Amino acid sequence: MYSVINVESYDCIVGLDALNNARSYLKSYIKSKAIVITDENVYKYHYKTMDILLDDLEIEHEFYVISPGESSKCFSEYEKIMEYMSLRYHRDDTVIAFGGGVVGDLAGFVAATFMRGVDLIQIPTTLLSMVDSSVGSKTGIDLKTGKNLVGCFKDPALCIIDPLLLKTLDDYVFEDGFGEVIKYAVCFDKELFELIKSNRFTKHKNLSEVVEICVTIKKNIVLQDKLENDVRKMLNYGHTIAHAIEKLSDYTVMHGHAVAYGINCMAKKYNEDYSDVLEVLKMYNLDKIYDYPIDELYDVSLRDKKNTKDEVVLIISEKVGECSILKLNKNDYRKILGDIHENIHR
C-alpha cells in the first residue's frame, strides 16, 4: 500500500515497498532511456533492486556512481556528469536521482541544466532525503565559500519514497534524518512531536506515517511559497547555525546532526518547551555539542543564502508546534549568536 501526495505539478508516492508497488507510475514517466545517478553506498546495497526493476519495466538504463558525501556536490563532479551525458543522452531521456540528499541535489541540478532541462525522478534512500530534500524542487551544488550557493528550482516528474530502503543505513546516517523530522515537529506539528517522543523510531520500524506527515507539511508550505520568499524560510529552523557547522567541520558533521545542534541552540535561547525538545534530541542521539570559535560561526553563517546585505534571517520557535521569522541587523545577530553560544556551552 502507498499514499499519493500531490505537490502541484508532481506526485510523491509514499509507503512501504512503494518502489515495487508504484512501478506503473515509474514506467509511465520515462519516455526513453534513463541514467540512474547514485553513490557508492547506495549502489552497493540497492543496485540489484533498481536494475531488476528497470529491466522488468523494459527501460533502457545505466548507473552513474559518485563518491558518497558532500564533497561530490561540486562543480568538478557536475562537469564530469554533464560531459558524460552529452555523448549519450538527449532531451527525451530521464535522470533518476537514487540516493540521499547529496545525490538528489546534484542529480537534480544536472537534470535542470542538461540541454536546458530533462525529466527528473527522485527516489530518496535516506530518511533526511525522504522527509525533506527530495520534496520541494530545490537543487544545488556547493562552493568553497558555502553550501548550496549555486542551484535552481527543478520540479521532478515523480518522487517515490519507500522507507524499506532505510534498513541498510548505518545508525548515524539514519538518525541524521531525525534532525529534519524534529524540525518539522518543533516548528509545525505538536502531534508529530508527541509521536516521535512517545515512540523511539528505528530503521526497522514502519516510518511511513512519520514520512507522510513531514512530506505533507513541506508540501503545504512549498505550495504557499515555492521560491522561498516568505513562509518557506521557516523550513530553515536551525539551519543558519547548521550550515556554518557543516562548513567548519569540512562536512564531517552531516546535515541532520548539524540541524539538530542548531535546533538545540535556538530552542535553549527561545523555546519554553526546551526540556522536551532536548529530551527528543537525546532519544535520537542528536544532542551533541559542537565547539567552534564564535567569530568563525558568525563569519560563515553570514553567507547563508537566506540573508541579505543588511539583514540576517533567523527562524525561532517559542513553543512546540509554532515558529516565526526574526530579521536582525548584523550587530544584533552577532550579540544573539554570542548569547546562544554561551548558553549552549554552559
* Residue in 77, 47, 75, 79 with CA at minimum distance from that of residue 63: 47
Looking at the domain that runs over 171-203+225-344, which CATH code has it been given? Answer: 1.20.1090.10
Looking at the domain that runs over 3-168, which CATH code has it been given? Answer: 3.40.50.1970
Cα separation of the two ends of the chain: 48
Residue 243 half-sphere exposure toward CB, CA atoms < 13 A:
23
> Sign of the C-alpha dihedral, residues 68, 74, 76, 78?
positive
| Residue spans per domain, the chain | 3-168, 171-203+225-344
pLDDT tens by residue, 234-257: 999 999 999 999 999 999 999 999
* Residue in 255, 253, 275 with CA at minimum distance from that of residue 264: 275
Q: Position of cell 550587530?
A: 331
Same fold, 3-168 and 171-203+225-344: no
pLDDT of residue 306: 76
Binned at pLDDT 50, 70 and 90, residue 24 comes out as: confident
pLDDT over 90, % of the chain: 88
d(CA 331, CA 168): 46
pLDDT of residue 140: 95
pLDDT tens by residue, 93-111: 999 999 999 999 999 999 9
**Per-residue pLDDT for 309 more than 90?**
no
Residue 22, SS3? coil
Averaged pLDDT, 136-165: 94
Residue 221 to residues 155, 165, 217, 227, 231: CA-CA distances in angstroms? 15, 26, 6, 11, 7
